[in-house]
Chain A
């Protein structure tokens, strides 16, 4: 059995939106897997960065329900290693922004435990809120 995936105009619109928001030519990705190999958080992710790129190329909106883009630590390892010069961290950011700009936060800032607040450095909270809330 061969699974056939039809790419509709809605899919193309989604790809267009992410391409614009990230500023990257996502169709250039040739699925080499280097980004997934270098990603420090890949072991925690449900899909790999390469899969994230592929789903985006095919314009699949289901990607918005995956956890991978939220587990990205913005370390830019993928950015410096991509042989095609793509900035995969920007694609992850664009995907997060689609959700965040609908006022759907990934974390509830009020639920951080007090003992954590007492020890976390400000940069952790500032950057965490930047990435996880709208």
Chain B
């Protein structure tokens, strides 16, 4: 039974057949990539992540959703013949011939502890927890490092002048991969500032949806109390039955 296999063995199984149904001899296009300095031949149409697994590595850190959303598979690489160090998410970028790469599974940045409910809705909240943002020199290195193409410098500047809405909007797609913080000469941790900005904006800045307000009022008034009582007092068997017989679109 599947549950008896050790979790690591299951991952190893899953990582094996990435080019399912295709034999190595059938692959026409190969490229050479260098993982931490060691060279490997990999099929040209793989992502960095799957290419590293093809080369025989097993990810136990630095790999998550494989869909470009969790920010775990941060990669720094250099293309052949170029001097620039570039950034990417390994699960979203294809390999290129001569790619020289390394994974950064973790960024040890410090996050401040705060309670948004107790803070002033003003620029001073950023300066209180992250005074280093006043050291920003507008060099734009963070923007250049961002694998999501976000305007990072712009939202840090917006934070310095207390424009919470701009911080929230510009940083919305941030996956907290940490590359901006790693390269910043002023030692700012941009994504933590963005998170504080979004939380503050959500609490104090953005309008409260009317339908949510209405629904909350209905719940307080007890409109759904009867149905909630039915479910909370049901047994496990009754719940399983309710779940199995629930109305679904596919039915």
User: Do A and B assemble together?
Assistant: yes
**B161, A122: Cβ atoms under 8 Å?**
yes
Query: Known contacts A122-B123, A122-B160, A122-B161; is A109 also within 8 Å of B131 by CB?
Result: yes
Report the stretch among A32-40, A45-53, A111-119 that lies at the interface. Answer: A111-119
Shortest distance from the beta carbon of B150 to any chain A beta carbon, whole Å: 23
Answer yes or no: A76 CB below 8 A from chain B CBs: no
Shortest distance from the beta carbon of A91 to any chain B beta carbon, whole Å: 23
Answer yes or no: A2 CB below 8 A from chain B CBs: no
Chain A's interface size range is: 10 to 19
Which A residues are CB-close (under 8 A) to B135? 109, 126, 129-130, 133
CA–CA, A110 and B79, complex, Å: 39
**B134, A129: Cβ atoms under 8 Å?**
yes
Shortest distance from the beta carbon of A104 to any chain B beta carbon, whole Å: 15
Answer yes or no: B120 CB below 8 A from chain A CBs: yes
Q: Which of A110, A114, A122 contacts B134 (CB 8 A)?
A: A122
Over the window 62-82 of chain A, the binary record of Cβ atoms lying under 8 Å from chain B Cβ atoms (1 yes, 0 no) is 000000000000000000000
Residues of A within 8 A of B (CB): 109-110, 112, 114, 117-120, 122, 125-126, 128-130, 133
Closest 9 pairs (CB-CB, A-B)? A125-B134, A109-B131, A126-B134, A118-B124, A117-B128, A129-B135, A129-B134, A117-B127, A117-B124
